[in-house]
Amino acid sequence: RYLQDPYLVARFQRICGVRGTFPKTTAEEVNASKQPGKGGEKLTQNGAAGQGGETAGSAVKPLRKNSLTGDAGQEFIIENRILYYLFTFGTELGNELFYITFFPFVMWNIDAFVARRIILVWVWVMYLGQCTKDLLGWSRPASPPVVKVEMFYNSEYSMPSTHAMSGTAIPFALFYMTLGRWEYPFAVGLSVALSWCVLVCVSRIYMGMHSLLDVFAGVLYSSLILLVSLPALDSADLFILHSHWSPLLIIALPFALALLCFHLDAWSTSRGDTAQILGTGAGVALASHVNLRLGFSRDPVFVSLSFPPLSFSLFVTALVRLIIGVAVLVLTRAVMKAITLTTLCRVLRLGGGGDVRRARQHMEVELPYRYIVYGTVGFNVLFLVPLLFS
């Protein structure tokens, strides 16, 4: 219970220079519900605008309004801009923009073999995390006293933190898969993985999205999944690449898992995110199989690899490849989104009057739409874009 206390989150936000602008009456009602002598009353008064003197800093709105829920949140005061930008960066390490740039960058410029396997791990970690959220159904930390610095995922459940899960799985899986394959100091790799993990986890508390218990559980849950999945990667990869049945299983199994997830609970943005993640993983896995069949496989040989010397030309080449590749992915996403969403709404006779947001809350639209669109994006990450580069 102690680690779930929203006042712990609010206290941490206060230390980091985040102050709420809650109405005075609301803050007083929350204070009244706390027993005196616990420290909660003083905290809420200090965190509310207009109580305890003038507040330094500037008022800002929560990050990214959710276009599906329309929830924009309430203004808050930021007194420490450095921490605000640091933890905003940390929380972005678990958002779609990061995934759509980081995974392709590693795949196109560093090591496609490692990138493909990290995506497999990421898919399982995120799927199990999202399903566990819906099964447990724990709500986000109460606001007030917590300040919602981010609103995009506020409609989802909180336990465990899937940001903490991905922030644990990705850096440590990357460290595990590259250690011995690429030449770099062990201490450097471990330090980067730990720093990445800590930054993401702390950022979720700063954003007011999770309690300490949510974050700790996410780290432990992800670690357990890594212990089970990493030793099985070789067998899974061999099946995906060489089995004649793998294309059918690659398409059908993730879709069935997404369908199961959609039936766990009422509508929330997490259902679409789950279908999106599974679709991406299916697309990448299918492209891996197709590349091998067509002789396009670009996996490096199994020897110790050294990083090339950093140079301006190398930087420009990597940047150009990333820009062109991401542009292709964004175009793929836009075209497939328009085609798929329009077709599904017409076939199912939903979204009348142009209300696409309401139509997307139907499983019959959201599941195939997300799965097909991001499955195509995932396929092009490993098939079409490298083909263009060649």
Which positions are catalytic? 163, 210
Cis peptide before 23 (omega within 30 of 0): no
Report how far residue 135's alpha carbon sits from residue 82's, in angstroms, rounded to the nearest whole number: 37
The angle formed by the CA atoms of residues 86, 277 and 318, to the nearest 5 degrees, is 60
Listed residue (150, 210, 145) closest to 11, CA to CA: 145
The angle formed by the CA atoms of residues 329, 331 and 335, to the nearest 5 degrees, is 120
Q: What letter does residue 249 receive in the DSSP assignment?
A: H
- The phi-psi region of residue 353 (left if phi > 0; otherwise alpha if psi is between -120 and 50; otherwise beta) is left
Please name every residue paired with 150 in a beta bridge, in sequence order, or none if there are none.
Answer: 63
Pair 209, 153: CB distance under 8 Å: yes
Query: Which helix (H) or strand (E) is 78 found in, with range?
Result: strand 76-78
Listed residue (6, 353, 16) closest to 202, CA to CA: 16
Q: How many CB atoms are located within 10 Å of the residue 114 CB?
A: 20
Report how far residue 162's alpha carbon sits from residue 295's, in angstroms, rounded to the nearest whole number: 37
Query: Which helix (H) or strand (E) is 298 found in, with range?
Result: none
Q: Are strands 18-20 and 58-60 parallel, antiparallel or unpaired?
A: unpaired
312-348 and 96-109 helices, crossing angle to 10°: 130
Listed residue (251, 275, 249, 253) closest to 264, CA to CA: 275
Report how far residue 31's alpha carbon sits from residue 40's, in angstroms, rounded to the nearest whole number: 7
3-state secondary structure of 79: coil
Gyration radius from the chain CA atoms: 22
